Amino acid sequence: MSIARPEPAPTPALREIRGPSALTGDMRRFVTLTRTIAVMDFKLRFFGSVLGYLWQLMRPLMLFGVLLVVFTQIVNVSSADDFPVALLLGVVIFTFFAEATGGAVACVMVRENLVRKIHFPRLVIPMAVVVVACFNLVLNLVVVVIFALAWGIAPTWTWLGMIPLLALLVVFTSGLSMLLSALYVRYRDIQPIWEVVLQVTFYASLILIPYEAIEIKSPTLAEALLANPLAAVIQESRHLLISPSYVDAGNGMGALWRLVVPFAVLAATFALGLWFFNREAPRIAEEL
Amino acid sequence: MHAQAPAAPAVVVDGVSKTFHMPAEQAHTLKERVLRARRLRGGSSFIALDDVSFSVQQGEFFGIVGRNGSGKSTLLKCLAGIYRADAGSMSASGRIATFIELGVGFNPDLAARDNVVLNATMLGLSPAIARARFDEIIAFAELEDFIDLKLKNYSSGMMVRLAFATAIQADADILLIDEVLAVGDAAFQQKCFDVFGRLQDEGRTILFVTHDMATVVRFCQRAMLLHHGRMVQIGPPTEIAEEYLRLNFPEQSDQAGSSPLRSGDGSARIEDAWVEDAGGGRRTTFLSTEACVFRARVSFAQDAVQPHINIVWVNERGQNVFAVATAAEPGGSGIYAAGDVVDLRLSFVASLAPGHYAVTMVVSHPGSGLDFMDRWERMFKILVTSANAAGGLVELPHELTIERAAPAELERSA
């Protein structure tokens, strides 16, 4: 067997070994690794069971179905006739958020073998979790679009606005995922804590009870809820995707400039997550 | 050994230290941290590496040896970038690939192709190159018939072959290898070393961690011995192997003393007995092929004419491997008066297989030799160690040459 190898440089210069880090400065390797691990993970779920991807779809759809029955047939939270579409969209976006952050919490522990045995940018691990969640989000959004079209909603140019909006959502989710996965290495009770937080977030993100329903009772509360980037993204996506009758996030907060708040939360979360993960990365292998 | 450019360092390690903190009680939750804040501050720290410095030349096969807990794996992990060293600096020229374990990242639910791509990507190849070399990897691993089988259905041998075939594809200039070979059978290990040899011929540098001295002596050009995190010695592998054996088979405690194993009529007494090295120091551990001297002091309470003195070395299986009897020696043992004290010296080379050897000494009245003046069975043991034992009972001095027979001679014999 021949082992192909680029012609060795005469004498490669000595470079310092700095030890493990979050990124190692090698962006290409980071991207390749994250993609490879995410694709393999996705494949595993896809082919792992008889019905494969159907189960992946079932989770948000079942939640949607139950909520739809309860909140249209038993309790009436919205009079809007496109409420089911709005609900499904909210559930799908939240599912992405919960899957990514919930999965990120223990991800370093799950990949313990890699962390202890091989040198690679540590940030790959939580990011691969987020990427897998992104794959699922895209596939779920296809379902949402089909559902919306079936409901009689006509496609418009505003749909393109979903792209930057989802990008912001991914940035926010990534920040939290980095923070949680690094925290978990030190504090194992992050896992139950985060489960509780996710539950609260579900109700505080305008998924079930739309903005309009809350605004009637308390405009201040409705405005305050939009400070949560997840809620703002869900509200804005309804405005863009379903109907302009859903108030956009800026106006929902009372004034466009108030959008500074969710943006600031988002940016701060990402910066904090990146900083903390980067700080913890060198010691992750020994702290596990 | 190999034609090389004037030696340039491939790896330079300077004063590297690494300490692990081991809290008395590990706190993994917030509650534990708050409730036991005071207690947790204590705990001990374990110095895994203490000011280790060395450098490895390009194209060198360098061994790092030491027993479990000596810090050799920690050193490798620091070099690999898995742990961060607390102090000191390390540098390397070129790309490093680490084989701490074969098949890192293998997933039992994926087929060979996916696992190869996954593993190769972890080792630093691009997925495209990994896919391109897939056939080559499978051929080397001899797994052509099992490409589509999920890894969970592979035998452990198949898995190891696949992992090794993938690992050697890593385009690295420096290979860090940590006892990955312990898993395979002899044939597989040979194949591994063939590959390492070829990689080395291509000019790559190999750092190899092991506690198998035979491997070190066979393959390494230089080696370093670590003991309790400190560097003890760097040098030729044979010297390092000897030092390793010396360090790790500590001197045996002397088991002398009156015991049921001693009998005799008291007309003579073995006062003391020991073994010393060529320099005259008392030791109980010797390298095979090392010269040593058995010494004993015997005092006579009665006159004795040509008493028999026998010295027998017995191995762990109870076999007499080496015996000396004055009755068989040309000069006999001599004539002594009551009160005489004699010193006995028996020089020999410990050409023995590695193992423990107990010595029995008998002083008896002339005649049958069963009339004991003093018989002391299993007075003490010595330990013989060897860097390259082939399995025989003894290691006789030898010389081995193998030459290709001249064609003319072959014809004649045909």
**Helix and strand tally (H, E) in chain A?**
14, 1
Say whether residue A8 is in contact with chain B using an 8 A CB cutoff: yes
Interface touch B107/A283, C-beta < 8 Å: no
pLDDT at A149: 93
Q: Contact, B213 vs B245, CB < 8 A?
A: yes
A 197-236 residues with CB below 8 A of B? none
Q: Summarize the confidence of residues B297-308 as an average pLDDT.
A: 89
pLDDT at A188: 87
Question: Residue A5's pLDDT band (boundaries 50, 70, 90)?
Answer: very low
Say whether residue A12 is in contact with chain B using an 8 A CB cutoff: yes
Answer whether residue A202 shows pLDDT above 80: yes
Answer whether residue B217 shows pLDDT above 90: no
From A189, which residue of chain B is nearest by alpha-carbon distance? Answer: B29
Answer whether residue B292 shows pLDDT above 60: yes
Best mutation target, B122, B164, B178, to test chain A (most A CBs within 10 A): B122
Give B81-136 pLDDT, tens digit per residue.
888 888 888 998 888 888 888 778 888 888 888 889 888 888 888 888 888 999 98
- By Cβ distance, the residue of A16, A32, A48 closest to B126 is A32
Other CB atoms within 10 A of residue B326 CB = 19
Question: Residue A246's pLDDT band (boundaries 50, 70, 90)?
Answer: confident
Q: Chain A closest CA to B237's CA: distance in Å?
A: 26
From the number of C-beta atoms within 10 Å of its C-beta (0-12, 13-18, 19+), residue A147 rates as middle
Chain A residue numbers with beta carbons less than 8 Å from the beta carbon of B110 are 40, 43-44
Question: Residue B39's pLDDT band (boundaries 50, 70, 90)?
Answer: low
Tokens of B47: 């110095």
Query: What's the rounded Cα separation, in Å, for the pair A251 and A258?
Result: 9
Q: Contact, B303 vs B289, CB < 8 A?
A: no
Q: What letter would DSSP give residue A72?
A: I
pLDDT at B2: 45
Question: What angle (nearest 5°) sits at the alpha carbon of residue A142, between those of residues A140 and A147?
Answer: 95
Mean pLDDT score of chain B, rounded to an integer? Answer: 82
Give B41-75 pLDDT, tens digit per residue.
556 788 889 899 999 998 899 999 888 888 888 89
Interface touch A117/B104, C-beta < 8 Å: yes
Answer whether residue A97 shows pLDDT above 90: yes
User: What is the separation of C-alpha B147 from the centre of its chain, rounded to a whole number of angstroms?
Assistant: 38
pLDDT at B306: 87
Query: What's the rounded Cα separation, in Å, for the pair A214 and A217?
Result: 5
pLDDT at B295: 92
Query: What's the rounded Cα separation, in Å, for the pair B335 and B342?
Result: 11
Best mutation target, B30, B47, B82, to test chain A (most A CBs within 10 A): B82
Radius of gyration of chain B (CA): 29
Best mutation target, A119, A183, A196, A284, to test chain B (most B CBs within 10 A): A119
- By Cβ distance, the residue of B31, B93, B133 closest to A15 is B93
From B203, which residue of chain A is nearest by alpha-carbon distance? Answer: A8
Pick B269 or B386 by higher pLDDT: B269
Q: Summarize the confidence of residues A111-133 as an average pLDDT.
A: 90
Interface touch B122/A44, C-beta < 8 Å: no
In sequence order, the 6+-apart residues with CB closer than 8 A to the CB of A226 are: A206, A211, A232, A235, A249, A252, A253, A261, A262
Q: What is the pTM of this model?
A: 0.72
pLDDT at A123: 92
Q: Chain A closest CA to B248's CA: distance in Å?
A: 28
Residue type, position B252, single letter: Q
Query: What's the rounded Cα separation, in Å, for the pair B207 and B174?
Result: 8
Chain A residue numbers with beta carbons less than 8 Å from the beta carbon of B89 are 16
Pairing, β B341-349 against β B335-336: unpaired
- Largest pairwise CA distance in chain B: 92
Starting from the edge strand earliest in sequence, which strands make up the sheet with B9-22, in order?
A14-16, B87-93, B9-22, B44-57
Give B231-289 pLDDT, tens digit per residue.
988 998 888 887 887 777 654 434 444 455 778 888 888 988 999 988 888 888 888 88
pLDDT at A162: 93
Other CB atoms within 10 A of residue B149 CB = 13
Answer whether residue A10 shows pLDDT above 80: no
Interface touch B84/A20, C-beta < 8 Å: yes
Tokens of B351: 């050409």
Percentage of chain A lying above the pLDDT 90 cut: 44
Query: What's the rounded Cα separation, in Å, for the pair A55 and A178?
Result: 27
Answer whether residue A21 shows pLDDT above 80: no
- By Cβ distance, the residue of A13, A17, A114 closest to B122 is A114
From A45, which residue of chain B is nearest by alpha-carbon distance? Answer: B109
Interface touch B92/A40, C-beta < 8 Å: no
Question: What angle (nearest 5°) sits at the alpha carbon of residue B177, between those of residues B172 and B182?
Answer: 140
Give the range among A141-150, B222-231, B405-414 with minimum mean pLDDT. B405-414
Percentage of chain B lying above the pLDDT 70 cut: 86
pLDDT at A164: 95
Q: What letter would DSSP give residue A11?
A: S
Percentage of chain B lying above the pLDDT 90 cut: 10
Tokens of B218: 């066979």
Pick B198 or A264 by higher pLDDT: A264
Other CB atoms within 10 A of residue A155 CB = 11
From B124, which residue of chain A is nearest by alpha-carbon distance? Answer: A29
**What is the ipTM metric for this complex?**
0.76
Mean pLDDT score of chain A, rounded to an integer? Answer: 86
pLDDT at B180: 63
**B263 bridge partner residues:** B375
Q: Chain B closest CA to A26's CA: distance in Å?
A: 11
Nearest to A108 by CA among A211, A191, A40: A191
pLDDT at A266: 95
Question: Residue B185's pLDDT band (boundaries 50, 70, 90)?
Answer: low
Answer whether residue A166 shows pLDDT above 90: yes
One DSSP character per residue, B245-277 reads: HHHHSPPPPP--S--TTEE--SSEEEEEEEEEE
pLDDT at A228: 92
pLDDT at A76: 76
From B59, which residue of chain A is nearest by alpha-carbon distance? Answer: A11
Element (H, E) at B280: none
Q: Contact, B50 vs B83, CB < 8 A?
A: no
Give B320-329 pLDDT, tens digit per residue.
888 888 888 8
**A73 bridge partner residues:** none
Q: Summarize the confidence of residues B325-348 as an average pLDDT.
A: 86
The residue written with tokens 């028996």 in the block is B346
pLDDT at A193: 95
Pick A126 or A82 by higher pLDDT: A126
